[in-house]
Chains A and B, each alone.
Chain A
Amino acid sequence: MSKGYLGFVLHAHLPFVRHPEYEHFLEEDWLFEAISETYLPMLRMFNRLLVDKVKFKITFSISPTLSAMLTDDLLMKRYVKYLENRIELGEKELERTRDNEQLQKTVSIYLNLFKENLDEFVHIYRNNILWGFRNLEKEGVLEIITTASTHSFFPVFEEHPQAIEAQIQNAVISHGRNFGTKPRGFWLPECGYFPGLESYLKANNIDYFFVAAHGILLSDGKPQNGVYSPLELPNGLSAFGQDFSLTEAVWSADTGYPGDPVYREFYRDIGYDLPLEYIRPYIHEPDVRVNTGYKYYAVTGNTDNKEFYNSELAMDKLDEHAEDFIQKHIDQVAKLEGLMDKTPFFVTPYDAELFGHWWFEGISWMEAVIRKVSKREDELEMITAVEYLEKYPKNQTGVPSFSSWGNKGYSEVWLDGKNDWIYRHLHKAIDRMTELVFRYPNESGLKLRVLNQAAREVLLSMASDWPFIMKTGTTVPYAVKRIREHIHNFNYIYDNLRRNTVDTGWLTRIERKNNVFPDLDYTIFGKK
């Protein structure tokens, strides 16, 4: 038996972004970048470990909106075009940099990445990478869990039980459709928890969920084992707390591993550095410079004068950082010895897209950690939350505190002067949706289509991504537009139903555009 357990939890999520009305749409690149730099390389890494018979187990959360996009025909065809475009750019870059050997090496890294992605995406996964994740779950190395349907931050909807129920129930149904299983675990979007949320999870047969460290530490009792074992809630669910002190080593750009000078710099991209006439075919129209994925510089330090990236130096460093990460856990195990009646469990949750996309070497780092841990199992072993509960089915009873993993630990990221205006609209739409279920409890035909689309629009408006973007300031005009779009669409349907009219042409257009959750049943908003 190991002296300590390590639980990697990776959360993969992107909001539903799909614009068939445009040939190229800027924000669809979020998905294409994540597939290219995170999801496909991560699948490759897991499969390498599997082939090498390395023992590992990871909890992997895939959001229903991400799953919907990864199985969407239009988006996946566009992704193939995206890859072809990037490969063409890489080949031009090889030619342009022919006199610089070091730069050519870096160009080749990206070009090979895109080529390998295209080959696997088309020939192995046949345009559906969910199949790859599903297969890894069947192999027993991933436990796939779900999250809220459109990743809504639950604490701001505490007074709207129908909406929370709809978010969870539809997520479980969507998970079943995509992975053929019932999820036992649930990723609370942004680790947003309020006391009482567990009753909705229990009603949907969820066994456990994850909360921020202070959700456990500030719980209603004295948490005897800190965050190193779960709390058992009065209704039988288990809440696992994030191990804050050690996840910081991976999160922090200033003091964590990703900020090391030899690693790849995220913010220098040839989409911005090269002349417009050269880069034009690989950016957005009309001449909107964007990231291309070809980034040639190293972090270097807090300077604009960056050094060229050297992958050999980066690989040496990540090995050192993998060793450090493991050693820190082993040291923590030693400190905890005698303080706990159980083996400590270190839950280390991350947004999956951190690895590969932002921290370019992150996937290789994780692979190094997994390989090293597998050789030191007497000291540290990788297990999942389910496996921990099998070893220790009885845990201290308690109720976590209201909490999130956002800035200052509560709701301030999603409820702030920059985004608070949205809630009067979201709450109203939810109330009205519930009213529609009451007024039309059993519809069919055209009215059923209208009501199902109304439910889709409400769910889409609840995504935590839009208030987050408004707060952090990345693509604010788009986030604002998305909230307005879904509220507008819902209100249009609501007003038409009051007048007993249906705009069939408009409905068909909106159904084709916002086609997430095709088998959504609007009466889901009537359940409490």
Chain B
Amino acid sequence: MTRDRLTQYSMFDLYKIAENEGVQYDVTEGNRDELIEKILEALEEDKNERDLANNDAMKLKNTKYDILQDYELEAQEKQVYSIPEKYNDTRIVLLLRDPLWAYTYWDLNDKELAKMKEELFFEGFFLRVFELSSKKTSKEDSFSKDNIIDYYDIPVDEKDDSWYINLGKTGRNFGIQLCSVIHGKVSVLSESNIIKSPRGFVAEHIKDLSNDPDLMTVLMSGLWDYNNKGENVIPQRILSIMENQDLTL
């Protein structure tokens, strides 16, 4: 998107673009050039952010869809499709994002929520994140006392419905409970599926760097090059291989 292209937009559309891009503006001033300048800055910042958030494979993939260099305010298709915000059932789901981060979303049944809020001593909700020994065949067994290694709580607001969780450790099993507190009493509203985070580094028994031909093939398989190219192109979790195991040569 260039300055030339932006100048061809109506003021109304420029306001819409500004809003989409989070640009602060004063409608009463109506200074077109200044608004365009601010939008350009925001778009440039956005582009830089996206570039940093994508590796070469993803940047290339993006060109398949890159038919439009102008700002797309709305899709060509004008049909409006309504979908529910939530599904009115109480459940919590856990998704693994990478070795150290997971994403959880949850939903609460309207009646259950209303009933809880009617309680005089309703204190709120929290997420209880568990590190577990293993994934058992049933949720009940997975969250059983003898399977729990550790846990910690994350307070959440009634309006929240999702959260990114730093797992803190790699190569472990995790589960999560959505809990409410009424008059100091904790109730479990829903239990998630169990996820296992990957180890995120080369198998632990590779310790000895000297005269290890197997390690050489691992290094030549890409780690060597990751190391030579500097941090900017190193997948974050791959970098941890180098840090954790001191494979720098």
User: Does A216 sit within 8 A of B, measured CB to CB?
Assistant: yes
The residues of A that contact B69 with a CB separation of less than 8 Å are: 267, 269, 272, 289, 291
Once the chains are docked, how many angstroms separate the CA of A427 from the CA of B93? 9
CB pair A491–B84 under 8 Å, yes or no, is yes
| Chain B stretch 61-79: residues in CB contact (< 8 A) with chain A | 61-70, 72-77, 79
Residue in B50, B58, B68, B206 whose Cβ sees the most chain A Cβ within 10 Å: B68
Look across to chain B and name the residue whose beta carbon is closest to the beta carbon of A403.
B198
- Pick from A156, A219, A226, A415: contact of B217, CB under 8 Å: A226
CB pair A477–B75 under 8 Å, yes or no, is yes
The residues of B that contact A491 with a CB separation of less than 8 Å are: 83-84
The residues of B that contact A33 with a CB separation of less than 8 Å are: 67
Given A214-B238, A244-B225, answer yes or no on A251-B75 (Cβ-Cβ < 8 Å).
no
- Pick from B46, B64, B84, B202: contact of A473, CB under 8 Å: B46
Interface size band for A: 35 or more
Task: Please report the number of residue pairs spanning A and B whose Cβ atoms sit closer than 8 angstroms.
Answer: 249
The residues of A that contact B58 with a CB separation of less than 8 Å are: 406-407, 413, 468, 472
User: Does A351 sit within 8 A of B, measured CB to CB?
Assistant: yes
A164 CB to closest chain B CB, in angstroms? 14
Once the chains are docked, how many angstroms separate the CA of A227 from the CA of B76? 44
CB pair B65–A30 under 8 Å, yes or no, is yes
User: Does A521 sit within 8 A of B, measured CB to CB?
Assistant: no
Once the chains are docked, how many angstroms separate the CA of A335 from the CA of B220? 9
Once the chains are docked, how many angstroms separate the CA of A290 from the CA of B76? 13
The residues of B that contact A159 with a CB separation of less than 8 Å are: 93, 193
CB pair A478–B75 under 8 Å, yes or no, is yes
- Pick from A222, A267, A420: contact of B206, CB under 8 Å: A222
The residues of B that contact A222 with a CB separation of less than 8 Å are: 202-203, 205-206, 214, 218
Look across to chain A and name the residue whose beta carbon is closest to the beta carbon of B98.
A410
Once the chains are docked, how many angstroms separate the CA of A266 from the CA of B107? 45
CB pair A217–B202 under 8 Å, yes or no, is yes
CB pair A401–B198 under 8 Å, yes or no, is yes
CB pair A217–B223 under 8 Å, yes or no, is yes
User: Does A223 sit within 8 A of B, measured CB to CB?
Assistant: yes
Look across to chain A and name the residue whose beta carbon is closest to the beta carbon of B239.
A408
Once the chains are docked, how many angstroms separate the CA of A252 from the CA of B224? 17
Given A406-B55, A485-B81, answer yes or no on A332-B65 (Cβ-Cβ < 8 Å).
no
Given A406-B58, A415-B103, A484-B83, answer yes or no on A29-B67 (Cβ-Cβ < 8 Å).
yes
- Chain B residues touching A, majority SS: mixed
CB pair A26–B68 under 8 Å, yes or no, is yes
The residues of B that contact A227 with a CB separation of less than 8 Å are: 221-222
User: Does A313 sit within 8 A of B, measured CB to CB?
Assistant: no
CB pair A410–B74 under 8 Å, yes or no, is no
Interface segment, one of A82-90, A116-124, A353-361, A377-385: A353-361
Once the chains are docked, how many angstroms separate the CA of A226 from the CA of B98? 22
A479 CB to closest chain B CB, in angstroms? 9
User: Does A96 sit within 8 A of B, measured CB to CB?
Assistant: no
B211 CB to closest chain A CB, in angstroms? 12
CB pair B217–A488 under 8 Å, yes or no, is no
The residues of B that contact A245 with a CB separation of less than 8 Å are: 220-222, 224-225
A351 CB to closest chain B CB, in angstroms? 6
CB pair B84–A214 under 8 Å, yes or no, is no
The residues of A that contact B221 with a CB separation of less than 8 Å are: 213, 216-217, 223, 226-228, 241, 243-245
- Annotate A202-219 by CB proximity to B: 1 below 8 A, 0 otherwise: 000000000001101111
User: Does B249 sit within 8 A of A, measured CB to CB?
Assistant: no
CB pair B198–A402 under 8 Å, yes or no, is yes
CB pair A407–B54 under 8 Å, yes or no, is yes
CB pair B217–A27 under 8 Å, yes or no, is no
The residues of B that contact A256 with a CB separation of less than 8 Å are: 56
User: Does B187 sit within 8 A of A, measured CB to CB?
Assistant: no
The residues of A that contact B64 with a CB separation of less than 8 Å are: 14, 30, 34, 351, 353, 357-358
| Chain B stretch 189-206: residues in CB contact (< 8 A) with chain A | 193, 195-203, 205-206
| Chain B stretch 82-100: residues in CB contact (< 8 A) with chain A | 82-84, 86-87, 93, 95-99
User: Does B241 sit within 8 A of A, measured CB to CB?
Assistant: yes
| Chain A stretch 301-328: residues in CB contact (< 8 A) with chain B | none
The residues of B that contact A336 with a CB separation of less than 8 Å are: 217, 220
User: Does B168 sit within 8 A of A, measured CB to CB?
Assistant: no
CB pair B83–A487 under 8 Å, yes or no, is yes
A229 CB to closest chain B CB, in angstroms? 9
Q: Can you list 8 A-B contacts (CB < 8 A)?
A: A217-B241, A226-B217, A228-B217, A291-B67, A402-B197, A424-B93, A424-B107, A475-B67
Top 7 A-B residue pairs of the complex, sorted by shortest distance between their CB atoms: A226-B221, A226-B217, A244-B222, A410-B98, A488-B81, A251-B56, A245-B225
Further 14 A-B residue pairs, CB within 8 A, beyond A357-B64, A488-B82: A19-B77, A218-B202, A223-B221, A225-B214, A244-B221, A245-B222, A291-B66, A340-B217, A408-B98, A412-B97, A412-B101, A424-B105, A472-B61, A477-B75
